[in-house]
A = this chain, B = another copy of it.
Amino acid sequence: MVGGGQLARMSAAPAAALGIGFRVLAASESESAAQVVNDVFVGSHDSIDDLKRFAQGLDVITFDHEHVPPAYLEQLEAMGVAVRPGPSALFHAQDKLHMRRALSDAGIPCPAWAEIHDVRGVADFAEVVSWPMVLKTSRGGYDGKGVWVVNSLDEAERVIALPLPAGAAWLAEQCIDFVQELSAQVARSPHGQAVAYPIVRTVQANGICAEVIAPAPGLPNERAVQAQRIALQIAQDLNVTGMLAVELFDDGYDLYVNELAMRPHNSGHWSIEGAVTSQFENHLRAVLDLPLGSPALKAQHAVMVNILGGDVGDLYSAYKHVMARDPGLKVHLYGKAVRPGRKVGHVTVLGNDLDDLLTRGRHAADYFSGRIDE
């Protein structure tokens, strides 16, 4: 797995359970996954030499992020290593303009969008959609970075004057007045088997995922099935292998695709305890072309709340309190240095009483972050 973050760290457990050799390409020995995985290759995902040396002896390469240049992935494939998802599929998760074109061509519902070259383009698009609108860099954004909501042509002009990441262009999108944000996750294998996880509600704060509720509360069954169908269709049309997360806006009537990720995703962390087969295990099974595991929920509800870095540098010191208060809580810490707002862990709770689960999950996350002290 290329990338030594928490997604690779959490993939290590199912790799060990299944007896799958698991090597991680990490930026340093101290990166999240490198702390726990036995087979660590320290190098850069931006270096084809490092990637090639990392790939020696591997059967399959997969990813915990989308940052490897597509041309490098093609070189790895030329070496005879299976790259999953493949470079042409993954490019849709690397470039949002490319993704919008492909989804629109396939008839997948998206917010109205336009490629923007100058302020004139913004003005033209503003006649199609009303203000506010969303401006994005087509590449390089994550966790709210690279995304702006603008209310006027003046604001838009200031945004598109900002420097773009290499290879990126400006993308304008209709601002959907959503009632909730959803995530549809599917796993798909090279031989075409696919499974769809229950549709979940994701709650964002400051552009960062704050909590996830599985299944999405109050979502009519037909819209849940529609969301699963959209994700399955995207996985097939784009030839995705491994986990695909489709972030969706639900305006109460229709669904619109927001973003794609082709890897385990924050919206599926609940599945470690809450699903028969976690997203991490199904990602490994999918990229190895093994039959997929059941994505069924193991409880009526699962709630996952992210632990964001706060004022407390030592997260371990919170253990006595949160574990004594809630013996049913599941804690995952990523071994990352605490910085304000950074995702440094998460908690999951399962049960029948959703309000109770939300209270418990938020309390624990707030206590870890230092926002509350009792």
When C-beta atoms are compared, the residue in chain B nearest to A334 turns out to be: B19
CB of A129 within 8 Å of the partner chain: no
Contact B323 A293 (CB under 8 A): yes
In the assembled complex, A176 has its CB within 8 A of some CB on chain B: no
Q: How far is the CB of A64 from chain B (nearest CB, A)?
A: 14
Asked whether any CB of chain B lies closer than 8 Å to the CB of A276, the reply is yes
Mark out the residues of chain A between 289 and 346 whose CB falls within 8 Å of any chain B CB in the assembled complex: 290-294, 296, 298-299, 315-316, 319-320, 323-324, 327-335, 345
Assembled-state Cα–Cα distance A292/B326 (Å): 9
Closest CB in chain B relative to A60 CB, distance in Å: 13
Structural contact, A327 and B19, CB atoms closer than 8 A = no
* Size bin of chain A's contact surface: 35 or more
Given contacts A16-B13, A331-B17, contact A324 B291 (CB under 8 A): yes
Cβ-defined contact, B333 with A294, below 8 A: no
Q: Is there a chain B Cβ closer than 8 Å to A266's Cβ?
A: no
Distance to closest chain B CB from A31 (angstroms):
11
Closest to A29 in B: B38
Query: Given B291, B320, B330, B350, which contacts A290 in the complex, CB threshold below 8 Å?
Result: B320
Q: Is there a chain B Cβ closer than 8 Å to A285's Cβ?
A: yes
Cβ-defined contact, B327 with A294, below 8 A: yes
Is the CB–CB distance between B38 and A277 below 8 Å?
Answer: no
Most buried by B among A12, A38, A350: A38
A interface majority secondary structure: mixed
| B13 and A327 within 8 A (CB) | no
Question: How many angstroms between the C-alpha atoms of A294 and B324 in the bound complex?
Answer: 10
B36 close to A315 (CB less than 8 A): no
User: Chain B nearest CB: distance from A121 CB in Å?
Assistant: 47
Q: Taking the complex as formed, is A40 at the interface, i.e. its CB lies under 8 A from any CB of chain B?
A: yes
- Interface positions, chain A 21-35, Cβ under 8 Å from B, are 22, 34-35
Most B C-beta atoms less than 10 A away, residue of A316, A330, A334, A335: A330
The one of B36, B285, B293, B350 that contacts A38, using a Cβ cutoff of 8 Å: B36
For the complex of A and B, the 10 pairs showing the least CB-CB separation, nearest first, are A19-B333, A13-B13, A291-B323, A291-B324, A16-B36, A294-B327, A294-B328, A17-B332, A36-B38, A293-B327
Query: Which residues of A are at the interface with B, using a C-beta cutoff of 8 A?
Result: 9-10, 12-13, 15-19, 22, 34-38, 40, 195, 276-277, 285, 290-294, 296, 298-299, 315-316, 319-320, 323-324, 327-335, 345, 350
Known: A12-B13, A276-B327. 13 other contacts (CB 8 A): A12-B12, A12-B36, A19-B315, A22-B36, A34-B38, A36-B38, A195-B327, A276-B350, A277-B330, A291-B323, A291-B324, A293-B323, A298-B298
